């Protein structure tokens, strides 16, 4: 008996992506230090590879991707 199939896994992943996409930068992310203003740009030639900066970039990328998908669905 399979309790956790691919359909439920897909549903959980979709809900987690949606949860990231609806996070408000002003109301939530800024308060906990994960806003885009908290992500200070490194100097020229340096790479910032902290976990916090990667999470901030991931949240921004997910939100941008889902905005593009929504616009494509609405505008055709």
Q: Is residue 6 part of a domain?
A: no
Q: Is residue 63 part of a domain?
A: yes
In a domain, 8, yes or no: no
Higher pLDDT, 4 or 16: 16
In angstroms, rounded to a whole number, what is the distance separating the alpha carbons of residues 17 and 6?
A: 16
For 31-48, what is each residue's pLDDT tens digit?
Answer: 777 766 655 566 565 666
Residue 41's pLDDT is 61
| pLDDT (tens digit per residue) in 18-35 | 888 887 776 777 777 776
Per the structure, how many domains does the chain have? 1
**Six-digit token string for 24:** 């408000």
Residue whose token pair is 């806003």: 35
- Cβ atoms within 10 Å, residue 16: 11
In a domain, 64, yes or no: yes
> Which range of residues forms the domain containing residue 34?
20-40+48-76
Examine residue 35 and state whether it is found in any structural domain, yes or no: yes
- pLDDT at position 53 is 78
Residue 27's pLDDT is what? 74
CA distance 51 to 64: 20
């Amino acid at each position: 008996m399979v309790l956790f199939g691919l359909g439920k896994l897909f549903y959980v992943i979709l809900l987690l992506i949606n949860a990231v996409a609806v996070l408000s930068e002003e109301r939530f992310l800024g308060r906990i230090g994960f806003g885009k203003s908290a992500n200070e740009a490194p100097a020229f030639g340096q790479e910032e590879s902290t976990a916090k900066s990667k999470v901030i970039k991931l949240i921004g990328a997910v939100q941008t991707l889902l905005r593009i998908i929504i616009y494509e669905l609405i505008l055709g």
